[in-house]
Amino acid sequence: MENIDFTPNSHLAAIYYNQGNSNLFRINVDVTLVDLKNQLTELSCRLHGLDQRRVTEVVYRRPSVCSDGKVLLTKMKLHNDEDVISMMSIFSQFMTKGPIELDVNLVRSVEDILANMVAPGDGDVETINLADDF
């Protein structure tokens, strides 16, 4: 029989990194926005190896039930710790409808981008003169 890791005080979440396919993870319940972003960055690194992108924005797909029983998702950007508390509170009312759904934006820092650029004269880069010399 296989052991399944379970983290108490956590909820199942569907994370959509840069509008891609969802990935299911467990996220901690009692967290600040900074802690949540760090946790989501760490999970992204596990998915993509040594990816140096970091989470810059988290948007909660807030559920509400229409009068006909359908679930409607409204985007709610998380700006501060109070928004994270509200998200967890809202989710506790709708947890039977599915996981927490989060849209997460990942970006690289300017330093990481510059470190990966090829400087002129490095390697086998050919210089091309675009002047008309006919």
DSSP string, 88-129: HHHHHHHGGG--EEEEEEEE--HHHHHHTSPPTTSTTPPP--
Quote the CA–CA distance of 33 and 94 in Å, as a whole number. Answer: 21
Quote the CA–CA distance of 128 and 46 in Å, as a whole number. Answer: 41
Q: What is the pLDDT of residues 33-55, one digit of tens each?
A: 999 999 998 888 888 776 678 89
Residue 132 domain-assigned?
A: no
Could you tell me what percent of the chain has a pLDDT over 90? 31
pLDDT of residue 85: 93
Residue 88 domain-assigned?
A: yes
Q: What is the DSSP letter of 10?
A: E
Longest CA span, the chain: 77
Please give the backbone phi and psi of residue 22, each rounded to the nearest 5 degrees, phi first.
Answer: -80, 150
pLDDT of residue 107: 86
pLDDT of residue 92: 84
Residue 127 domain-assigned?
A: no
pLDDT of residue 117: 63
pLDDT, mean over the chain: 80
Quote the CA–CA distance of 75 and 57 in Å, as a whole number. Answer: 12
**What's the CATH code of the domain at 62?**
3.10.20.90
Residue 81 domain-assigned?
A: yes
Residue 121 domain-assigned?
A: no
Residue 120 domain-assigned?
A: no
pLDDT band at 32 (very low <50, low <70, confident <90, very high): very high
Asked if 64 and 45 touch (Cβ cutoff 8 Å), the reply is no
Supply the range of the domain harboring residue 76. Answer: 10-115
Domain count, the chain: 1
Q: How confident is the model over 95-108, as a mean pLDDT?
A: 84
pLDDT of residue 84: 95
Residue 128 domain-assigned?
A: no
Amino acid in the structure at residue 4: I
